[in-house]
Structure 1
Amino acid sequence: MKVCLVVSSPMTVTAFLQQPIRKLATAFEVSVVANLTLGASIPALDGVATVLPVSIERQISPWRDLLALWCLTQMFRQQQFDVVHSVTPKAGLIAMLAARLAGTPVRIHIYTGQVWVTQRGAFRWLLKSMDKLIARLATKVLADSASQRQFLLDEGVVTAEQSSVLACGSISGVDIARFRPDAAVRARIRQELGIPQDDLVFLFLGRLNRDKGVLDLARAFAGIAEDYPDAHLLLVGPDEGNLLPALAELTAGCAAQVHQVGYAARPEDYMAAADVFCLPSYREGFGTVVIEAAAAGIPAIATRIYGVVDAVEEGRTGLLCPPRDIAALQACLCEMADDPARRLQLGAQARLRAQADFSSETVATAWLDYYRRLLT
């Protein structure tokens, strides 16, 4: 049987979908549509799946989006796929509509978070309506966490009959062999950053934007830094929201304790160097980065929002606080700083849970099992 996955960015494939695609390819003929130029490829899929370039841009562009819709509809009619499966909102809307027009019998979309959660007014309504339309066009939908599925049900976006979650959540799981404790890497990264080996490091790793709560984290850390002179805040990731000036201003009084690194090709190295992972986000589909940190043996401080509550087992693998609550976030930072033994215990339990429930092999197998149930 023929399966086609559709994404807008090839980075989605290389970052999240390699293992699921490899697993699906053991039982099905798999193609991947991505926003690539003609003749380009995705090296990680060589010999595994056929890569089909179609221009699907992330930003709204009516003329180009109509062209992409036409191209996909023609492709789906010619290729006669049994399944079309889309990931990310823009690819989902165009691919589900094209598959519906082409008569593809099984149409799946996976939700990985809702941008509209933090929006207001007409823009929120528009984005939410797009998610609803995707669900209407699809025959089945997935959410990458149980709490996200419940949110989508409560908001009337999906129905209980058509929606489900793979395994315990996550779109891809975590590579346990890659994300793990590593004393040598820990020592090297700390030496490169000028952080003493025995000091406490709070890590944020991800895109620096407002919805990730990075400014809240900076405010909270600045409020406790004087009381914890051996504590450090390490920020790793591209400055997507142009927040560096604001971050510098917020942490001016503790600048020597704050370290910033741009995009990291090896995020696992910084997780190995840290003691506590921080994700004070306002919205997440599933906290994959939290599970990666857990696999590295470090506990999390995160916000009590849908998606994240599936990644952090409160009081067992980390601590949760309300979003936008600086005082509560500070209290969590202090609790982790004051009790090294508990911090280590939470980290050990987090690693065990990541290994048991969220390994990339477990999640990829769940993809294959889901397809087999649908198609047999």
Structure 2
Amino acid sequence: MPHLAALSRKYDVTLIVNLDDQGFLNELQLPITVISVNIVRQIALWQDLKALWQLIWIFRNQPFQLVHSISPKGGLLGMIAARIADVKIRIHTFQGEVWANRQGGWRVILKFMDKLVARIATQLTVVSHSERQFLIDEGVISSEKSIVLANGSICGVDSERFYPNTAMREDIRKELGINEASIVILFLGRINRDKGVFDLAESFTEIAATIPDAILLFVGPDEEQIFEDIQRICASCREQIKRVELTSSPQHYLWASDVLCLPSYREGFPIAIIEAAATGIPSVCSRIYGITDAVEDGRTGLLFTAGKVDELTRALLKLIQNPDLRQQLGKAARSRVVKLFPSHKIIEEMLGLYEHLLSGYQDAIIE
């Protein structure tokens, strides 16, 4: 939202998004045109071809000088359509690779798609330095064509929205039916296998066996319809599992929590970690590219080897059983994100990139 607000003050902006409610920007009163196109996450040949045709038609019938795509599918369809429609400036943002933890044919196919996007785009941005290096090492992007805005992340964090708020902690916990004495481990994000949620469920089953006042709170959409599987894994401690679906107020659940846990297998730069840090909450996360930019191991959180449930359990227990360490890491985490990842820095650099690219476009027209 802040990106769109900043862009709309200087440019004529059109937002293309898979959304039924085209009035969702009304609360901000932004002069932005919203066009709904059914771009789905999963591969769906007929829907994808239909969306591609819609994008080509839109780009050909409106005089766009710049198209910026975000997300893997949005990038593939958006960059192809923009190239066919001869849009001169084509930016794509990489924020996590679906093929990073795949093997065999699917890895080859999905990686080729990212290579195609990188080739078609005229400029690439990547949400973290470690992801950018991974993509360079894998031969997907070049160092000359790609940049990281500021210190990374897709949007930074608004420290005036995400901040420590002990006053709200009790109220949010009452709404969730959680006692003040309980230790709350929060998973915040899309619930799917790649996020390591089964590892978290297995780990929590071990933790709950010895710590009956521990709570595991899931906040986010059940993207793969697997929450029932999580509950089956946690059958012995099912009453200690809480669930909230998609929310526009993640800070509420951060205020109610003690530790954020993201045991993911792939990430570009997880925004939930720096949102948690801004509220003074330490994180326990897998040691993979993207996450290593967001967490300093032993200083702002604890890292473990992805997929190693025993390591995850030890890290969580270390923070659960040591409130002083939680406070120490949480304080350092907030200090770091306020300094390195304020949202205004990302917005300023994005606007600077647009200005630079568009000025070159105008010079080319004059020439």
Q: Tell me if structure 2 keeps the 8 A contact 1:34–1:56.
A: yes
Cα distance in structure 2, aligned partners of 1:57 and 1:191: 37
Matched with 1:234 is 217
Alpha-carbon deviations, 1:163-189, whole Å to 9, x = none?
111111111122222222222321012
Select 1:308's aligned residue among 272, 277, 291: 291
Cα distance in structure 2, aligned partners of 1:60 and 1:232: 36
| Percent identity over paired residues | 47
Letter aligned with residue 371 of structure 1: Y
Matched with 1:196 is 179
Matched with 1:259 is 242
1:61 deviates by: 4.0
Cα distance in structure 1, aligned partners of 2:69 and 2:291: 23
Matched with 1:175 is 158
Q: Tell me if structure 2 keeps the 8 A contact 1:172–1:360.
A: yes
Matched with 2:105 is 122
Q: Tell me if structure 1 keeps the 8 A contact 2:199–2:307.
A: yes
Q: Tell me if structure 2 keeps the 8 A contact 1:42–1:51.
A: no
1:42 deviates by: 4.2
| Alignment length (residue pairs) | 358
Select 1:92's aligned residue among 57, 75, 79: 75
1:218 lines up with 2:201 in the alignment: yes
Letter aligned with residue 243 of structure 2: Q
How do 1:147-162 and structure 2 match up within 5 A? 147-162=130-145
Q: Tell me if structure 2 keeps the 8 A contact 1:24–1:367.
A: no
Letter aligned with residue 309 of structure 1: T
Letter aligned with residue 165 of structure 1: V
Cα distance in structure 2, aligned partners of 1:223 and 1:180: 31
How do 1:357-368 and structure 2 match up within 5 A? 357-368=340-351
Query: Helix, strand or coil: the match of 1:226?
Result: helix
Alpha-carbon deviations, 1:44-76, whole Å to 9, x = none?
464332223444344444444344334433433
Select 1:133's aligned residue among 91, 116, 121: 116
Query: Helix, strand or coil: the match of 2:100?
Result: helix
1:230 deviates by: 3.3
Letter aligned with residue 249 of structure 1: R
1:141 deviates by: 0.8
- Are residues 83 and 182 of structure 1, via their aligned partners in 2, closer, same or farther at CA, if it must alter by over 3 Å? same
| Structure 1: runs of 5 or more not aligned | 1-17
Cα distance in structure 2, aligned partners of 1:245 and 1:71: 37
Matched with 1:184 is 167
- Are residues 32 and 237 of structure 1, via their aligned partners in 2, closer, same or farther at CA, if it must alter by over 3 Å? closer
1:80 lines up with 2:49 in the alignment: no
Matched with 1:345 is 328
1:43 lines up with 2:43 in the alignment: no
